[in-house]
Amino acid sequence: MNMNDFRLDSEPKINSGFQIPENYFETFSEKVMLQLPEQEPKVISIFQRKRRRTLIMAVAAVLVIALSVPIYNNLSTDSTEIDAATLENYITDQSTINQYDLISVLEAEDIENIKIDSNLEDQTIEDILATNGNIEQIITE
Amino acid sequence: MEEKEFIQQLLNPKTQNEAFQKLLSDYQRPLYNHIRNIVLNHDDADDVLQNTFVKVFQYLKTFKGDSKLFSWMYRIATNEAITFINQKAKRNGTTSEAMQSKLVENLVSDTYFDGNAIQLKLQKAIAILPEKQQLVFKMKYFEEIKYEDMSEILGTSVGALKASYHHAVKKIELFMTKD
């Protein structure tokens, strides 16, 4: 072995040479404490906030659906449903459907409603009685 | 205080803050030195040390007590520091080995490195060692950690650690002797 050979154990200990900024450790723990995740009770509060948000979103969704139902119905009326006027014309013009047929499909409640609706003026009733020749037959029935 | 009792304090929400403050004040310096020896510059060491303590706090619940608290923390710090170097190398599109050498080059202009020619040369010699030998050499030579503790930290047998250190010393002496 050469005299000039470098021997770690015969050298005075070589330190790393790293320096640390002054007061670094005095502020370090505070810096870390601020970064720690929230503790249990606060974790629950985040959860509750999440739940509240879910609730708000659910209410919003229900509102959107509720508001869109009439719009949807209006849209579909045009295509698939028969409006009241068409229905009335159909019943009036169809000779095969008579008043007995109509009565037979109506519930007692429906008939009650018709009575309320057909609140005719006296004059109109008189006109009908005067012009209808079969009135006696209808009354006796 | 028994270590088990201290861990209980760290886990109990009522005593947690105070216990963690104590953990910080006991371990911030040794863990800083350990990390600094791996990442070399102060700002990076600061980042990694903060991450280390945040992870320690997060994973305390899962600490089984199979090893000592101190070696468990050293293990986290080591992983964090090595991961940091690897990610830094990846971001710069280079290898971890090349990044090590670059970090040593940077020491010349580092405000917080007050090394003379021999100290700088020693860092250069260490930087070209395999990763495990670097780690073992730094922990033994600079940090003076006992082989038994190092064995628990690194999960390597004492015999293998002694062999690693021996190889590291030989290579470093060769590097320091030539040129």
pLDDT digits (tens, 9 = 90+) for A50-73: 667 777 888 888 888 888 777 766
Taking the CA of residue A28 and the nearest CA in chain B, the distance in Å comes to 8
Three state DSSP letters for B148-160? HHHHHHHCCCHHH
Domain endpoint, select from B114, B145, B167: B114
- Is A4 in the B-facing interface, judged by CB distances under 8 Å? yes
Average pLDDT, chain A: 73
The reply to whether B29 and B108 lie within a common domain is: yes
Q: Which residue has the higher pLDDT, A102 or B164?
A: B164
Within a domain: A61: yes
Q: Could you tell me if B142 and A16 are in contact, meaning their C-beta atoms sit under 8 angstroms apart?
A: yes
The reply to whether B85 and B124 lie within a common domain is: no
Helix (H) or strand (E) holding A92: helix A84-93
pLDDT band, residue B39 (cuts 50/70/90): very high
Smallest Cβ distance to A16: which of B50, B142, B169? B142
The reply to whether B128 and B87 lie within a common domain is: no
Within a domain: A7: no
- Is B94 in the A-facing interface, judged by CB distances under 8 Å? no
* Probe site for chain A from B10, B18, B27, B32 (most A CB atoms < 10 A): B32
pLDDT of residue A42: 44
Residue in chain B lying closest to A19 (CA): B112
Domain with residue B10: its CATH number is: 1.10.1740.10
pLDDT of residue A83: 75
How far is residue A20's CA from residue B99's CA, in Å, rounded to a whole number?
Answer: 22
Domain endpoint, select from B80, B114, B148: B114
What would the mean pLDDT of B75-104 be, rounded to a whole number? Answer: 93
Range of the domain at B84: 1-114
Within a domain: A63: yes
ipTM of the prediction: 0.84
The reply to whether B49 and B109 lie within a common domain is: yes
The reply to whether B124 and B98 lie within a common domain is: no
- Is B172 in the A-facing interface, judged by CB distances under 8 Å? yes
Greatest alpha-carbon pair distance for chain B in Å reads 60
Within a domain: A8: no
How far is residue B31's CA from residue B80's CA, in Å, rounded to a whole number?
Answer: 11
**DSSP 8-state symbol, A119:** -
pLDDT band, residue B143 (cuts 50/70/90): very high
How far is residue B24's CA from residue B79's CA, in Å, rounded to a whole number?
Answer: 18
The reply to whether A102 and A136 lie within a common domain is: yes
- Is B36 in the A-facing interface, judged by CB distances under 8 Å? yes
For chain B, percent of residues with pLDDT exceeding 70: 99
CB crowding B114-153: b at 16 or more within 10 Å, else e: ebeeebbbbbbbbbebeeebbbbbbbbbbeebebebbbbb
The reply to whether B87 and B10 lie within a common domain is: yes
Q: Could you tell me if B147 and B159 are in contact, meaning their C-beta atoms sit under 8 angstroms apart?
A: no
pLDDT band, residue A118 (cuts 50/70/90): low
Q: Could you tell me if B100 and B37 are in contact, meaning their C-beta atoms sit under 8 angstroms apart?
A: no
Domain endpoint, select from A47, A79, A111: A79
Range of the domain at A71: 39-79
Q: How many domains does chain B have?
A: 2
**CB contacts, 8 Å: B28 with chain A:** 25, 28-29
In this predicted structure, the answer to whether residue B172 has a pLDDT above a threshold of 90 is yes
The reply to whether A105 and A135 lie within a common domain is: yes
Put simply, the answer to whether A4 touches B177 (Cβ < 8 Å) is: yes
The reply to whether B142 and B64 lie within a common domain is: no
Domain with residue B146: its CATH number is: 1.10.10.10
How far is residue B50's CA from residue A67's CA, in Å, rounded to a whole number?
Answer: 53
In this predicted structure, the answer to whether residue A133 has a pLDDT above a threshold of 70 is no
**Amino acid, single-letter form, for residue B115:** G
Within a domain: A106: yes
Smallest Cβ distance to A17: which of B114, B141, B169? B114
- Is A66 in the B-facing interface, judged by CB distances under 8 Å? no
In this predicted structure, the answer to whether residue B126 has a pLDDT above a threshold of 50 is yes
To 5 degrees, how large is the angle CA B57–CA B62–CA B63? 80
How far is residue B88's CA from residue B97's CA, in Å, rounded to a whole number?
Answer: 11
Put simply, the answer to whether B118 touches A14 (Cβ < 8 Å) is: yes
